[in-house]
Homo-oligomer: A and B are copies of this chain.
């Protein structure tokens, strides 16, 4: 970031677009109105993705893989929305999602000075952290009471800036259309993060307000035209997390200490879920979404680790960090104010190493990794935190988040006890392996039984799979929870002290220390290069620009696009065996599609990261030309440093979607709404 930006780099804040750069590179200057339209047509899916409006009647488009958890929650042994897909022929057939909240960023306010004024009062990181937390809670509460909007203070530039984001929030979201998972994710885990690709990674929802479709002037127009190589395109969405500003010590810690550990955990869960799935087709259905998530994460983390294991990559980072530090050393005021940030951050990484196991096991709940434990802990903590003043609470239990929290806690999404047992049992075994059988908590939990027996017993006896039981407990308050004999509540209570202890160490000795040190680095960067930079991703709204563009891979030219027709060749190459088996609906219409030159998937240089999935990709005139759904294999390194030699984002094209809606799915009502 401290060098000049590289090509189409950047995840720009909606209120700080790179106007000069856009003008220089593309001769385009967006207006304020243009930016506001995009901001309000863009939607955050709180299950972890992005979306956008594509009609004035609340029609929302996102990826199939973002919708998958929603489809999974709607499914049962009798009806499998994931596998079979869905189309609501009439308005009244639209099916309400069981657990989904969407957010639209409505207003932004800079509150940096208000917060920094507080933290400047304290020398000690622990005190500063507490004071800051309180101030943030106050700001959020004031805002919520004033506007009624979901209000969150967002930490940008790792503590360089603080913005108050107010969101419109909707929880009545209904499914309109989803294709079969076989074509939504053709090639499955094997084609994931690859290109060329052939995925109909799309689904449509409708947002309702007061039981009526939401009326909105902010939407993208659906494009039925192909895209051309090198034309400027934009993405607006919610990249989840990047490490652009991260120091070398942080990257080395990720490489040597965090990623290998997390990958071992993920591979463990992946094999476990495969084993569970193998027992029957119904088991396969139950575990499918969880398995997809873990496979996706495993592939991403491994890709990022490989990038860091490349000595050339590290040498490049070393050089650029040394360059910045040398500049700071040369200037006395810079040196005095910012010079020690790297040492502080290195120490924070060391600290993290010393608490890693405890943090992941207890606060991140690897020791009890299943839905019913999450529910139990949320109830235990919610009722305990409620006893405290708002600004003293753990952040997720502040008043400003309460509605969203309860919406999720009381979700009627199905919980499968057999799957829960498998996950929970393995988690208990993992805990035992890490802390040993002599650990007093292990002894208390297992009390002379095996992890397997313990898990079976707790899961079979807990009533938390019933929403009514959860409501009853929340309503009974802390006293009621203390009296509960539900074994999962008892476990959550037992574990909570240990979990809170390590969380506190993390928040005061690592998180706050990091924020303060990174905010110094950010200030140094501002001092040296001005404000023409962008912050690391934070699962908040960002804009990225770029262009459709092919690349050369191992000497072979890769075209920027694939076509609907080529999809059949791709499946054939793999003998049409799962996960390359096309759905019946496509095979039936093969004669209409096999020669189609309509663009299906394409790559572009726009920046995008996990959380961006489902983001609209659109032209200057606000025509949506597709949905971002992936990166190629070279994109992993972009987590740390942007390059556009081979790294690309992958999108499914609007024209291709329209073509198959017409020829395969014959979704007339939906087509009409898109191209009205």
Give A residues with C-beta under 8 Å from B: 188-190, 255-256, 260, 263-264, 267-268, 270-271, 275, 278-281, 298, 305-306, 309-315, 429, 432-433, 436-437, 446, 448-453, 573-575, 577
Contact = CB atoms under 8 A, between A and B. Distances in A.
B189 A449 contact: no
A190 B275 contact: yes
A280 B450 contact: no
Contacts of A453: 310
A310 B190 contact: no
Contacts of A574: 280-281
A208 to B, nearest CB: 38
A578 to B, nearest CB: 8
Most chain B CB within a 10 A radius of its CB, from A275, A314, A449, A453: A275
14 contacts: A188-B278, A190-B275, A190-B279, A256-B436, A264-B264, A267-B271, A280-B573, A305-B429, A306-B450, A306-B452, A309-B437, A310-B449, A310-B450, A312-B449
Given A189-B278, A312-B449, A433 B256 contact: yes
Contacts of A309: 429, 432, 437, 450-451
Contact of A281 (B448, B452, B575): B575
B448 A311 contact: yes
A519 B291 CA distance: 49
A263 B577 CA distance: 30
A496 to B, nearest CB: 24
Nearest to A299: B275
Contacts of A452: 306, 310
A450 B312 contact: yes
A449 B310 CA distance: 6
Given A264-B264, A311-B449, 16 more contacts: A255-B437, A264-B267, A267-B267, A270-B271, A281-B577, A306-B450, A309-B437, A309-B451, A310-B452, A311-B446, A311-B448, A312-B448, A312-B449, A312-B450, A313-B450, A314-B437
B256 A271 contact: no
Contacts of A260: 433
A150 to B, nearest CB: 39
Contacts of A268: 263-264, 267
A264 B262 CA distance: 11
Nearest to A452: B306
A456 to B, nearest CB: 11
Contacts of A315: 448
A437 B453 CA distance: 42
Residue from A280, A433, A446, A577 whose CB has the most chain B CB atoms within 10 Å:
A433
Contacts of A270: 267, 271
Nearest to A275: B190
A481 to B, nearest CB: 29
A315 B256 CA distance: 38
A453 B575 CA distance: 31
Most chain B CB within a 10 A radius of its CB, from A298, A313, A315, A437: A437
A516 to B, nearest CB: 29
Contacts of A275: 189-190
A356 to B, nearest CB: 15
Contacts of A446: 311
Interface centre among A190, A260, A271, A432 (most CB of B within 10 A): A271
A326 B268 CA distance: 41
Given A267-B271, A268-B264, A306-B450, A311 B279 contact: no
A333 to B, nearest CB: 35
A586 to B, nearest CB: 20
A30 to B, nearest CB: 40
Contacts of A573: 280
A573 B280 CA distance: 8
Contacts of A437: 255-256, 309, 311, 314
Contacts of A271: 267, 270-271, 298
A448 B280 CA distance: 48
Contacts of A255: 437
A80 to B, nearest CB: 14
Nearest to A264: B264
Given A267-B268, A270-B271, A433-B260, A311 B575 contact: no
A436 B263 CA distance: 17
A634 B560 CA distance: 55
Contacts of A306: 429, 450-452
Most buried by B among A255, A278, A279, A429: A278
A270 B298 CA distance: 13
Residue among A267, A298, A306, A313 facing the most chain B CB atoms (10 A cut-off):
A267
A308 to B, nearest CB: 10
A187 B280 CA distance: 11
Contacts of A575: 281
A284 to B, nearest CB: 9
A271 B274 CA distance: 11
A311 B281 contact: no
